A and B are shown apart, each in its own frame.
Chain A
Amino acid sequence: MAGARIRPGISRVDDQGLRLRALDDRALDVCFDGRRVWTFWTLRDTEGTGPLRRVAWPRPLVKHLDGRSVVAVRDSASGATYFEQELALGSGAGRVEVVSPKGVELGFDKSGKLVPTFAGRSERDLGSLLDATEAVVAALRECGLEPFLAYGTLLGAVREGRVLGHDSDADLGYVSRHDTPVQVARESFRVQRELAERGFATYRYSGGAFRVDVQEGGVTRGLDVFGGFLDRGRLYLMGEVGTPFLEEWLWPLTTAQLSGRTLPVPAQPEHLLEAMYGAGWKVPDPAFKFTTPARTTRALEGWFRGTQPGIRYWERRASASTRGSFREPSVLARRAARLAGELGAEVLDVGAGRGADSVWLARQGVPVTAYDYVPRGLRDAVDVAAAEELPLDVRPLNLTEWRSVLAEGAHLAHDPRPRVVLARHVLDATSAFGRESLARLCSMALREGGRLLADLHVVDDAAGGDRPGDPGEDAPDWMVGRPDAEAVATLLRRYGATRVVTKRLPNRDRTTVRMVGEWSAWT
């Protein structure tokens, strides 16, 4: 009962974080000079015994906490203020400013990332995002879908009539008129293709969801488009939903106001909001964490996902700029350069990362195509290649998407020439499907003959984790599964390698295997 709850007390706020007394779990907003930056739950997100709790500042916030600021701690739901005081943090010089290098105000979103938030944006910026939302809604309708606002955007519209300040993106959903995952995925592919033809930049997350990138006031914001379907009284919606649902709760769609715009929502949106956020959806909670039932996660994973192994790790790596300075080339890249010279070949650098090897090879005069499934990481390489007029091409390739591999393979097979495929720690960073795809890509790209040069870590059974395929605690964060070098060699032969040489490299922290696969020219 809300009336019986005891107010939390904030006893101290300093460079380390907050100390508080709390008997029940509730969401608190932390504001700097009046602006909400972070929200935490008094029990869930804190440490301590009994009511005496402490919570450290989230790591991405720490570097911003240098200067003076009026720090306020407020109840997310009621707005009641439990603490408000001017404090000196860090050196205490100047004011605390939680902003990006471009000066855009930042806050923590629901996924715990420090991002530009709507709360910090001008009316004009917000207007341009709403314009983009309307444009994507219109385009999805032209593609034959019935889109509606979803997740945080739906919550903002229905509960408050406006974009939630702590949200960082806009979400759209649609429920397909098809009722099997295979049809839903095909429809999603078709719609993404039609959006691309209309000039929208898109990025696919899974067989059922993709993002449309729109420019908003100098910041690229993603509008996520989540597909769903109804199957015998059960609604599945990409992201988090799998629940019993009635058609009349969805259709015919109606409208709601979102910061002054009229936008589509389900017929009875409260049912979808309850499916997304639980029965407490009416109470604000900027630190909400989804607790999706395991059954729903298993179903959505099985039907639509598995095409982005390790994506969070690689996205994080990709967002760090190289500032145009690249690491030394790998041993494998040097070997690729020699081979390319001997064979008069070009190099395909698969899993190029930030492009250090690709740029080095191109600087040696070797024509290179750098592939990665997070092509954002290659933006510095693109800039350097343009400035130095290097023979370097950058293309997206996702080994865990059949469409991506077959399309790129067809493109390469269409232009047969000697090639060297460089795959440094790719076979050990992708799924079994991805490993087979690399072999398939080689078979399509190397029809004029060529080599695959690959390094991979292998984990002995004793060092692996308990579950089958678990690489174990000592394995690098990005490692997927426990690839077996002999099995990979067999796979390469199955895809046409006439010779495979496998060598264990000595004197390394981890066991690394170097594989050279040779393909002969088709006669």
Chain B
Amino acid sequence: MDLRTLRPSSSSTVRRLEERVADLEADLAEMRQHQLRLAELADVVQELLVPVAQQDREAVDAAVERFRKSL
């Protein structure tokens, strides 16, 4: 549906459009929030995965502590 071609000729059309805008804003906010969560997960993985993969217990402990203290 091309919104520009719609003529808000009745209050029900206006209401439908208002609801649609609210829905779109909510959808957009929901998608935007994934940016921060993805960044957080990538950061945790990057900082902690390498010492875990190396199976170096001391390095894992040190990485967890260093990460915690840097927050």
A406 at the B interface (CB under 8 A) = yes
Interface string of A171-196 (1 = CB under 8 A from B): 00000000011110110011011001
Q: Which of A445-463 contact B (CB under 8 A)?
A: none
Q: Which residues of B contact A398 (CB under 8 A)?
A: 71
CA distance A193 to B70 in the complex (A): 5
Q: Which of A186, A196, A197, A299 contacts B42 (CB 8 A)?
A: A186
Determine if A302 and B32 form an interchain contact, defined as CB atoms under 8 angstroms apart: yes
B29 touches A403 (CB 8 A): no
- The verdict on B41 contacting chain A, using a C-beta distance below 8 Å, is yes
B21 at the interface (CB under 8 A from A): no
Q: Of A180, A301, A306, A406, which is in contact with the most chain B CB atoms at under 10 Å from its CB?
A: A406
Q: By the criterion CB–CB under 8 Å, are A403 and B40 in contact? A: yes
Nearest to B60 among chain A residues (CB) is A414
Q: Name the residue of chain B whose CB is nearest to the CB of A402.
A: B40
Contact code string B34-53 (vs A, CB < 8 Å = 1, else 0): 01111111111001100000
**Candidates A182, A396, A402, A411; contact of B35 at CB < 8 Å:** A182
Within 408-429 of A, Cβ neighbours of B (below 8 Å) are at 408, 410-411, 414
Say whether B64 contacts A304, CB under 8 Å: no
Q: How many A-B residue pairs have CB under 8 A?
A: 83
State the B residues within 8 Å of A (CB).
25, 28-29, 31-33, 35-44, 47-48, 61, 64-65, 67-71
Contacts of A298 in B (CB 8 A): 25, 28-29
Are A301 and B44 in contact, CB atoms less than 8 angstroms apart?
no
Q: Is the interface of B mostly helix, strand, loop or mixed?
A: helix
**CB-based nearest B residue for A183:** B39
- A402–B41 contact, CB under 8 A? yes
Residues of chain B with a CB closer than 8 A to A207's CB: 35-36, 39-40
Contact status B69-A196, CB under 8 Å? yes
B12 nearest CB across to chain A (Å): 21
Known: A189-B43, A410-B64, A414-B61. A181 touches B36 (CB 8 A): yes
Residue in B closest to A188 when the chains form the complex, CB atoms: B39
Task: Count chain A residues whose beta carbon lies closer than 8 angstroms to a beta carbon of B.
Answer: 34
Q: Which B residues touch A407, using CB under 8 A?
A: 44, 64, 67-68, 71
A residues near B (Cβ < 8 Å) are 180-183, 185-186, 189-190, 192-193, 196-197, 204, 207, 298-299, 301-304, 306-307, 396, 398, 401-404, 406-408, 410-411, 414
Q: Which of B39, B44, B47, B68 contacts A411 (CB 8 A)?
A: B68
B44 contacts A402, CB within 8 Å?
A: yes
Contact A414 B37 (CB under 8 A): no
A303 touching B71 by the CB < 8 A rule?
A: no
Question: What's the minimum C-beta distance from B38 to chain A, rounded to whole angstroms?
Answer: 5
What A residues does B31 contact at CB under 8 A?
Answer: 302
Which of the residues A192, A401, A408, A410 comes within 8 Å of B40, measured between beta carbons?
A: A401
How near does chain A come to B70, taking the closest CB pair, in angstroms?
A: 4
Enumerate chain A residues within 8 angstroms of B65, measured Cβ to Cβ: 411
A465 to chain B, nearest CB (A): 16
**10 cross-chain pairs, A with B, having the tightest CB-CB distances, nearest first:** A302-B32, A185-B39, A193-B70, A181-B35, A402-B40, A196-B70, A207-B36, A407-B68, A182-B35, A182-B39
B70–A303 contact, CB under 8 A? no
User: For the complex, what is the distance from the CA of A197 to the CA of B71, rounded to whole Å?
Assistant: 11
Closest partner residue, chain A, to B40 (CB atom): A402
